[in-house]
Structure 1
Amino acid sequence: MGVGNLLLSAAILFSGNTYARMQDISDYLKLPILCKSQFYALQKRYLFPVINETWISCQIGVLDGLSREPKMVLSGDGRCDSPGHSAKYGTYSLMDVDTGLIVDFVVLNKADPSVKNSNAMEPMGLKQCLSNMKKWNISINILTTDRHKTVRKILRVEFPEITHQFDLWHFCKSIIKKIIKAWGKK
């Protein structure tokens, strides 16, 4: 394997680009690059393991430091790979509000038997992240999320010790919708 192929694969991945975009650029330049299967093989064999190892190392350091804090203020949100109700993959992330560090995240797949549908991915992700926080003995005082109904119920029923607050942006967005709806009726 050439070092250039590995570096090019890393550059594409770490810059957030896709192989297809890089292939288009190389075609215009008449610049030969590694083939698609080689690109994905390099990602799988070398890049993903390094990324995973680095993430775990950093997460352990962050969680170890945060576990000494008496109470944490976190913010959580889910994100899906496509809009609407047809997402195949989703992530849920928890961020420490004071430091801006991501303390945990999970990747969810609609094909997982424990995930009923794409709407269930956000609540499932939240539960997994909060379970991980308990494993690390991290006490959460306040958690800010969007206004997802199932998330509200989970926090109210399963985690009553956590003060649940709404993200101001989502809260204002819902108020604006109600005002617009009320004005439309008059």
Structure 2
Amino acid sequence: MSDAESTSKHDIRKYIVYETCLMELFEVCPVCKRVCTVKNKVLGTFISVKQLCEYCEYSRIWQRQPLLDSTPAGNLQLSAAVYISGASFFKLQRAMHLQIFLYDTFRRHARMFIEPAMVHKWNHSQNVMLQQLSEERKVILGGDMRADSPGHCAKFGSYTMMDLNTKTIVDLQLVQSNEVGGSSHMEKEGLKRSLALLDARGVTIDSIVTDRHPQIQKFLRDNNITKFYDVWHMEKELQSNYIKLAKPRTARK
């Protein structure tokens, strides 16, 4: 087995090839050295070239990239690269005049392949982490929520729970404001869901580090969970208050 065959399709090196340079390889028959008939089949970044010599009847079909069933591997990997990196599909399409597939194909790749693969990977990693945490006596966690917009107009909130000993994310909970009667209740709901999951998996919590959200403080106190304040939030509040106090002084000067 050659090196190329033994290497996975994901790890094979890729090159950007210009169409005119590529077609030079098929203009002349490699047997009789005469001009050949060439036909192309294009599917996004995939191109298949059929070369036929009318004189000596030499023929061959060449493909730019391997196929995964009927899906070109390069198309799928490019969709994954754009999706995972957070890049813009349309900017990539315009930047180099790159021969690429349609946006609908990109979304289909994401829906059918990329997103299920990411969810599967996350679920597997999370199960391993929770199993390890369940075997520890004391687990110190840090939790906080990030909303899609500041203030009370947020529609979604993502609550993140981290194991502070290993600095590893152990759980993510997405909460929608209309589920809990308003955006001010999303953080508490996200915390409750994370704690319910950890409890179901047998994780013993020693303490939690969070911000000074009143609902969070009361909920943890009612459940006899030791709580510590995140000094970053406190520092941020002190800086904000200092700026507010300093502005009138500057105006008087």
Measured after TM superposition, the shift of residue 185 of structure 1 is: 8.7
1:167 aligned partner: 230
SS at match of 1:99: coil
Q: Residues of 1 paired with 2:167 and 2:232: CA distance? A: 17
Query: Does 2:83 match 1:13?
Result: yes
Report Cα offsets for 1:28-59 as digits up to 9, x if no partner: 32123222222112111111111111111111
Q: Say if 1:144 and 1:165, in contact at 8 Å, map to a contact too.
A: yes
1:46 aligned partner: 113
2:99 aligned partner: 32
Q: Residues of 1 paired with 2:169 and 2:150: CA distance? A: 23
Measured after TM superposition, the shift of residue 182 of structure 1 is: 6.3
Q: Relative contact order (C-alpha < 8 Å, sep 6+): which is higher?
A: 1
SS at match of 1:76: strand
Name which one, 1 or 2, has greater alpha-carbon Rg.
2
- Gapped regions of structure 2 (runs ≥ 5): 1-70
Q: Say if 2:210 and 2:229, in contact at 8 Å, map to a contact too.
A: yes
Q: Residues of 1 paired with 2:248 and 2:86: CA distance? A: 45
Q: Residues of 2 paired with 1:121 and 1:151: CA distance? A: 11
SS at match of 1:104: strand
Report Cα offsets for 1:63-109 as digits up to 9, x if no partner: 11111111110101111122232222221111111101111111122
- Structure 1 vs Structure 2: percent identity of aligned residues? 35
Q: Say if 1:23 and 1:33, in contact at 8 Å, map to a contact too.
A: no
SS at match of 1:94: strand
Using structure 1 for the length normalisation, give the TM-score.
0.86
Structure whose residues are more often helix by fraction: 1
> CA, structure 1 residues 83+179, in 2 after alignment: closer, same or farther (shift >3 Å)?
closer
Structure whose residues are more often strand by fraction: 2
> CA, structure 1 residues 102+28, in 2 after alignment: closer, same or farther (shift >3 Å)?
closer
Letter in 2 for 1:86: C
- Gapped regions of structure 1 (runs ≥ 5): none
Moved >6 Å (runs of 4+): 182-186
1:128 aligned partner: 193
Measured after TM superposition, the shift of residue 179 of structure 1 is: 5.2
SS at match of 2:151: coil
Using structure 2 for the length normalisation, give the TM-score.
0.65
Letter in 1 for 2:146: R
